[in-house]
Amino acid sequence: MTKHTKQIIAIAVLSIAIAVQSFLLASNLRRVTTPKPHTPAAVFNFPANANNPGRTLRPDGQREEAELSTMLTFSVELGSLCPELRNEPFCVDSLYVSPTAQTAKLILKRALRKLENVYVAEAYDCDDNATELMVLMRKESLVEYREYPAALAIGFVGVRIDGPIFEYRDMSQDPRDYPIYHAMVILRLKDGHWWLIEPLTHQVCELTGPMIEEQIAIELIYF
């Protein structure tokens, strides 16, 4: 066998090896990026028809229809509850889904398990914890509402505190220290009620008027 023949054989073997490796790589890539039918990954990659959100299927098998809302709904309802809002609620999505109280409790419970409540003055304080809780609840809501082309109706709230609050026992009793500003989370329910959620203490109260305990006023909300 001549030297030239050996070179031709070596090149042919190398070409075959490269072709086989490319085929195997392409096969693996298809397996990774193409979800199997009827799996959660397939549902997220190929969402249901946006014109027919229809229902949601909860993990416990219970079927439950949620309610879709828009910025107009938020503006009308919060306008009467929060007259001290600086501007109308700012919405970054077009549609929002409002859960029942029962489903909202499930979503909140799962999100609070993952909220670490790290607190570092200025670096990671109330606004950061509120933002983190809002994102966690949005993620958890995908379990309940994966077929809805809408975001969970949860928002970031900027509040003004005009005096000591019972739940915050370490707050100053000196009126000269007020007002102070704080961040919380707000959630709209299917029945039209609104929950105000405190990320640092995990407390929930219903928003029924412009002031809470006559000491807290809501000034800013975005969804």
* The pLDDT value given to residue 211: 56
Residue 133 and residue 192 in one domain: yes
Q: Is residue 44 part of a domain?
A: no
* The pLDDT value given to residue 44: 38
Give 120-165 as a DSSP string.
BTTTB-HHHHHHHHHHHHHHHHHHH-TTSSSEESEEEEEEEE-S--
Q: Is the pLDDT of residue 47 over 50?
A: no
Residue 178 and residue 78 in one domain: yes
Q: Is residue 43 part of a domain?
A: no
Q: Is the pLDDT of residue 168 over 70?
A: no
Residue 14 and residue 79 in one domain: no
Per-residue model confidence as pLDDT tens digits over 199-217:
988 888 888 765 565 677 8
